[in-house]
Chains A and B, each alone.
Chain A
Amino acid sequence: MQQVAFAVLSLITLGAAIMVVTTPSLLRSALWLILAFFGIAGIFVLLNADFLAITQILVYIGAISTLMIFAVMLSSKVMDPHQPRFNEQWGLVGGFSALLFVALAAIVSRVVWPVAQGEVPVDTIQRLGADFVGPYVIPFEIASVLLVVAMIGAIIIARERE
């Protein structure tokens, strides 16, 4: 049953990802990317990481995808939905992509990935919260500082010039 679910979710994610890079219209690429994000959230659920799945939906689909759609809408080229999909370099780029794919496949299949010991806890949020203020407090605080810096930068850029 898990294999079937994983196969379906992978098909959705990979299919949506292929459509992202081959759709002629820029806005539809953003929408296919949202479907890919849903597929990834599903894979998180399969791995019992429920908090990560919901955060994926909340952050990636709710905020980052909205930002991307705004950027697409406010750029000038999006009014033309029939841009050429390939330019003259597609052979060289395709060759390099295939090379990258072969290298990644070799790495993924040959490396012995370390598996974490112990059971997956039923209540992942408790463990996440305890770890955030326990062993991983410094990355947590640095991420908060980064967010404050970004917010101050956005306010400075977007304020009215007196």
Chain B
Amino acid sequence: MINYLSDFFVNLARSWTAWISGFLPVWAVTVVNYVIVAVILVMMPVIATLTLTWMERKVIGRIQNRIGPNRVGPWGIFQAIADAVKMLVKEDIVPDNADKPVFNIAPILIAAAACLLWAVLPFGRNMIGADLNIGALYVIAIGSFTTVAVLMAGWSSNNKFALIGAFRVVAQLLSYEIPMVLSVAAVVLLVGTMRMGQIVELQTVPFVFLLPTTFLIYMLSAIAETGRAPFDLLEADSEIVAGYFVEYSGLKFGWFYIAEYGNLMAVAAIATTLFLGGWRGPGVAAVPALGPFYFAVKILVIVFVLMWIRGTLPRFRIDQMLGFAWKVLVPAALANLLWVAIVLKLPVPTALQWLLILAGNLITLVVALTLLGRAAKQYAARRGLVSA
């Protein structure tokens, strides 16, 4: 009994498979299992939306010295359901000259991209949707598919604000994809494989202690990829009136909302898998069923930090944002990758290699911050502002 409980989720799946194999042919068992896993994974962005919207409103409310929602249920936890009901009963307005099939498909594609990301994330030992050989690259490919869906949404609205917003979104997403790819490539180099399950298995030391700068670059690129503040130029209400989803109302806007929070949680989950050790934690070798709980705790920590950043920092301008990506993040990520590649080929023991990688990362961080500080001083001196 204790043995069953200690690996609860895997044993539950095995018992279920054994039970339905009793009366279904082999191919039907496979299909049923895949459908069940697919439904669970598609529910993840929805669960993320329901819980993270409440968390966000509370956290940002506290940062802004107010309470946040507290009417709808104890501590306002049913606020998300109230919002969902409101969105469902809104009228579905389609603009007159809009390209109707494209207009209707675009939110579904964006939500699909947010759901597809969850297929390669390891929730625990042997608990992964599909342990692809190319798991890390799959994540980036799905992110690049989002750019096309956003262009579809912006174009088919037949609205110049939506079009300009869509162009800006694509510029931002394409620019920040490169530092993200380079930082993921540094981790893949260190591990030697792209399988997400293997990356977590081989993290006896969480990689954030070996590659802190890479973690930082990945988090910044991920915040930009999901379009959260301070990179939320795309939905800046005072500038571009909600950008590419301005013409969407009701449930279609709900899909965009689900996609945003699903992306947020997926990106936090990827950062946990690559850098924080995924489902690893004390006692997980003996009791593998604890894996998903450690995973959830780490995800919530990262999501809290992201919400903290949202509530604190002002928004970037488009030229500042693109300059930051191309002039700061790409060279730093490239230098990082180069250093990791060189150190991994040195004929020294592994512990020394790790120390060298850590030293290289810290040196990159110090150099980047020094150069940024110097550039900021020159900018302030040129503009006649008071320098810090």
Contact = CB atoms under 8 A, between A and B. Distances in A.
Interface of A: 1, 25, 27-28, 31, 34, 50-51, 54-55, 57-58, 61-63, 65-66, 69-70, 73, 81, 122-125
8 contacts: A25-B99, A28-B102, A61-B145, A61-B148, A73-B163, A124-B133, A125-B133, A125-B194
Contacts of A58: 137, 140-141, 144
A69 B149 CA distance: 11
The 10 closest A-B pairs by CB, nearest first: A62-B144, A58-B141, A57-B141, A54-B137, A54-B141, A54-B134, A69-B151, A50-B134, A58-B144, A66-B147
Interface in B144-193: 144-145, 147-148, 151-152, 155, 163, 167, 170, 174, 177
A47 B383 CA distance: 60
Contacts of B27: 1
Interface string B236-263: 0000000000000000000000000000
B339 interface: no
A1 B26 CA distance: 13
Given A62-B141, A66-B174, A51 B134 contact: yes
Contact of B138 (A25, A54, A65, A69): A54
Contact of B148 (A34, A55, A81, A124): A34
A66 B134 CA distance: 23
Nearest to B150: A66
Which of A31, A55, A81 has the largest number of chain B CB atoms within 10 A?
A31
Nearest to A73: B155
A66 B141 contact: no
Interface in B49-75: none
Contacts of B147: 62, 66
A12 to B, nearest CB: 15
Q: Is the interface of B mostly helix, strand, loop or mixed?
A: helix
Interface residues of B, number: 23
A51 B144 contact: no
B112 to A, nearest CB: 12
B133 A65 contact: no
B132 interface: yes
Which of A57, A62, A63 has the largest number of chain B CB atoms within 10 A?
A62
B79 to A, nearest CB: 36
Contacts of A81: 99
Contacts of A50: 132-134
Given A50-B132, A51-B134, A54-B137, A66 B170 contact: yes
Contacts of B194: 125
Q: Is the interface of A mostly helix, strand, loop or mixed?
A: helix
A65 to B, nearest CB: 6
Nearest to A58: B141
B145 A27 contact: no
A73 B132 CA distance: 36
A74 to B, nearest CB: 10
A66 B177 CA distance: 14
Given A54-B141, A123-B133, A125-B133, A62 B99 contact: no
Contacts of B167: 70
A139 to B, nearest CB: 21
Contacts of B102: 27-28, 31
A25 B141 CA distance: 27
B131 to A, nearest CB: 12
B141 A51 contact: no
A23 B302 CA distance: 46
Contacts of B152: 31
A54 B27 CA distance: 26
A62 B134 CA distance: 17
A65 B137 contact: no
A55 B138 CA distance: 9
Nearest to B137: A54
A116 to B, nearest CB: 20
A73 B156 CA distance: 11
Interface string B101-135: 01000000000000000000000000000001110
Contacts of A54: 134, 137-138, 141
Contacts of A65: 148
B386 to A, nearest CB: 29
B155 A62 contact: no
A66 B148 contact: yes
Nearest to A123: B133
B210 to A, nearest CB: 22
A122 B163 CA distance: 44
A51 B141 CA distance: 11
A62 B132 contact: no
Contact of B145 (A55, A62, A123, A125): A62
A40 to B, nearest CB: 14
Nearest to A25: B99
A1 B30 CA distance: 13
A109 to B, nearest CB: 33
A27 B148 contact: no
